[in-house]
Amino acid sequence: MKSAITAGGAIFGKLKALGIDYVFANSGTDFPPVIEGLVEARRQGLDLPIPVTVPHEHAAVSMAHGAWQVTGRPQAVLLHTNVGLSNGATGLINAWCDQVPMIVMSGRTPVTEHTRFGARTVPIGWGQEMFDQEALIRETTKWHYELRFPEQISDLLDRAWAIANSTPKGPVYLSLPREVLCEPCPPEGLDRPSRIAPVVTAPEPAAVQRAAEALVGAERPLILSQRGAGSAEGFAALAQLCDDFALPLSHYWSNQIALPIAHPMQVGSDPAPWLAEADVVLVLDALAPWFPDKVTLRDDVTVIQAGPDPLFSRTPVRMFPAAITLSGPVDGTVAALGAAMRALPLDAARVEARRTVVAQASDAARTAVRAQAEAGRGAPMSKEWVALCLGEVVKGRKATVFHELGCPLQPLMLDQPDSYFQEPHSGGLGWGLPAAMGAKLADPERLVFATIGDGSYMFANPTACHQVAEAQGIAVVTLVLNNEEWGAVRQSVEGLYPDGHARATNEVPLTSLRPSPDFALTAAASRAWTKTVTDGADLPAALERAVEAADAGRQALLNIAIARVT
């Protein structure tokens, strides 16, 4: 890059130099220097990220989220002033909760009323002004700032990128006043990667040693994992660790897998019976590792908490004990723990005895999961049956299943580290479909499914999503698990008031989504391949056809009739 360029375009060049492939954008009157600058940058022959027009901001942020999950490459989002940012704020709550790095920017309405180039030209210039626009996302970003001068672009984005990628990772935000975007930006620094290296933390060696001694000496150890093993290497290392030391692992409310579901040490989604007897519990990147209202641990239990932010310091109330705390990315911690544990003397007989017990329980749990899933094969069918069928279809393929009130984890029987992503524990619905789309866009060879409830599908702004999928050739397969209600809300009412008034009614108020729209028509409006499936017996064939459509490059949607759970 030799000559100055409009600041709005300079940002794109710098983002590419930082390794960003996509800018998910939803534009407005703050964008003229961005759009003009983008074309100027193209004409200068600069290497630029691909700008993707996304007609809803929640979808834009969620696409960046999903793209990062399958590639490990952070992406950027560019929104319109305060109004675009507030529409994207739920996506940021999700990215924050899941520790997903991304650079989010939004315009700032012009601060000048006349004379200066870029000053206010329409009434929204006044209407969108805020005293503190950053307040909208302050709690859900690691760093936030406003661009004051065009020559700051390179250095500020270096800093933003490095902070987003530091342990624990997370989103950052930069607001972009229109007058600054209109100014020429000097070329220095715009074409080089960040001069600032991200911080990667590692657990204290003494703490690793104590944790290793506790785990090797344990009679009844247990691992609870919610957010996977950190990387493919971490996944393999954790499987080896569980194998070598016969360590049972439970996927309690997990939104990624840490161990293949068929692994003999994978004991399912309910840790309660294991927790009650455990003498050492390794909590591996788990925000809410058990249900304190229902679970009583042994008095002499040693709880080890490990993860990028093992005490989840930005969560106000979280009192789970931590006798030993291991701070750092999960893969590094697993490697360090493994090395320390293998250096210690081992009671091999005890490990082998435990292996037999755990493997039997693991096997029995899988058999029960399968039987329950098969029993849900009717018309309408269960979510578990859909999961079982989907698991068969993806076997042997490079595939990822996104879940938002969708296919439950256990019957899917997945075995790859990046094969499953569930909505973050923040639960800002509308994430599943666009996250799956972001993943498919960033890794088109991958077979990608969005398995989502009918409520979640509507939260996703489906018309916007299908429009983007068609425009960008994103051949994602959407499975709408349609029970014609917000089942989770109804079940929550019935859980809190099991003998209550609401439960006694035929239709619990504020939870019904009847009459259900014909979602196949919503997707067909953007020329998706679609089918409605009402009988479980027809599902395997329908899934095969949907996958064929996706393999041929066309988005597909199955609207699947799901039985209400009582």
Ligand X SMILES: Cc1ncc(C[n+]2csc(CCOP(=O)(O)OP(=O)(O)O)c2C)c(N)n1
CB atoms within 10 A of CB 265: 24
For residue 453, state whether it binds Mg ion (rule: CB under 5 A): yes
Could you say which of 8, 177, 380, 428 contacts ligand X (CB under 6 A)? 428
For residue 454, state whether it binds Mg ion (rule: CB under 5 A): yes
Q: At residue 251, what is the residue type?
A: H
For residue 90, state whether it binds ligand X (rule: CB under 6 A): yes
Residue 99 interacting entry, from Mg ion, ligand X, none, C-beta within 5 to 8 Å by type: none
Secondary structure element (H or E) that encloses residue 479, with its range: strand 477-482
Q: What is the dihedral of CA 127, 130, 134, 139, to 10 degrees?
A: -100
- Near ligand X in 535-554, by CB under 6 A: none
Tell whether omega for the bond before 168 is within 30 degrees of 0, i.e. cis. yes
Secondary structure element (H or E) that encloses residue 51, with its range: strand 50-53
Question: Of 73-81, 100-108, 304-312, 448-456, which segment contacts Mg ion by CB under 5 A?
Answer: 448-456
3-class secondary structure per residue, 141-210: CCCEEECCCHHHHHHHHHHHHHHHCCCCCCEEEEEEEHHHHHCEECCCCCCCCCCCCCCCCCCCHHHHHH
Smallest distance from the beta carbon of 390 to ligand X, in angstroms?
16
Could you say which of 254, 483, 555, 559 contacts Mg ion (CB under 5 A)? 483
Question: How far apart (Å, rounded) are the C-alpha atoms in residues 65 and 256?
Answer: 14
Beta strand segments in 315-457, E: 324-327, 399-404, 420-422, 447-453
Question: Of 49-57, 68-76, 201-209, 476-484, which segment contacts Mg ion by CB under 5 A?
Answer: 476-484
Question: How far apart (Å, rounded) are the C-alpha atoms in residues 318 and 289?
Answer: 10
Could you say which of 98, 158, 285, 454 contacts ligand X (CB under 6 A)? 454
CA 467 from chain center: how many Å? Answer: 22
Question: Of 30-38, 306-314, 343-351, 452-460, which segment contacts ligand X by CB under 6 A?
Answer: 452-460
For residue 487, state whether it binds ligand X (rule: CB under 6 A): yes
For residue 252, state whether it binds ligand X (rule: CB under 6 A): no
Q: What is the dihedral of CA 381, 384, 387, 391, to 10 degrees?
A: -120
For residue 121, the SS3 value is: coil
For residue 453, state whether it binds ligand X (rule: CB under 6 A): yes
For residue 384, state whether it binds ligand X (rule: CB under 6 A): no
For residue 179, state whether it binds Mg ion (rule: CB under 5 A): no
For residue 74, state whether it binds Mg ion (rule: CB under 5 A): no
For residue 459, state whether it binds ligand X (rule: CB under 6 A): yes
Could you say which of 168, 455, 462, 536 contacts ligand X (CB under 6 A)? 455
For residue 183, state whether it binds ligand X (rule: CB under 6 A): no
For residue 489, state whether it binds ligand X (rule: CB under 6 A): yes
For residue 382, state whether it binds Mg ion (rule: CB under 5 A): no
Question: Of 17-25, 414-422, 450-458, 498-506, which segment contacts Mg ion by CB under 5 A?
Answer: 450-458
Q: Output the six-digit token pair for 172.
A: 């950052």
Based on CB atoms, which residue is closest to ligand X, 463 or 516? 516
Site size with Mg ion, rule: CB under 5 A: 5
Q: Which residues contact 564 (CB under 8 A, 6 or more apart)?
A: 483, 484, 485, 487
Q: At residue 460, what is the residue type?
A: A
Distance linking the first and last C-alpha atoms of the chain: 63
Based on CB atoms, which residue is closest to ligand X, 12 or 486? 486
For residue 167, state whether it binds ligand X (rule: CB under 6 A): no
For residue 408, state whether it binds Mg ion (rule: CB under 5 A): no
Contacts with ligand X, residue ranges (CB under 6 A): 90, 405, 427-429, 453-456, 459, 483, 485-489
Binding site for Mg ion (CB under 5 A): 453-455, 483, 487
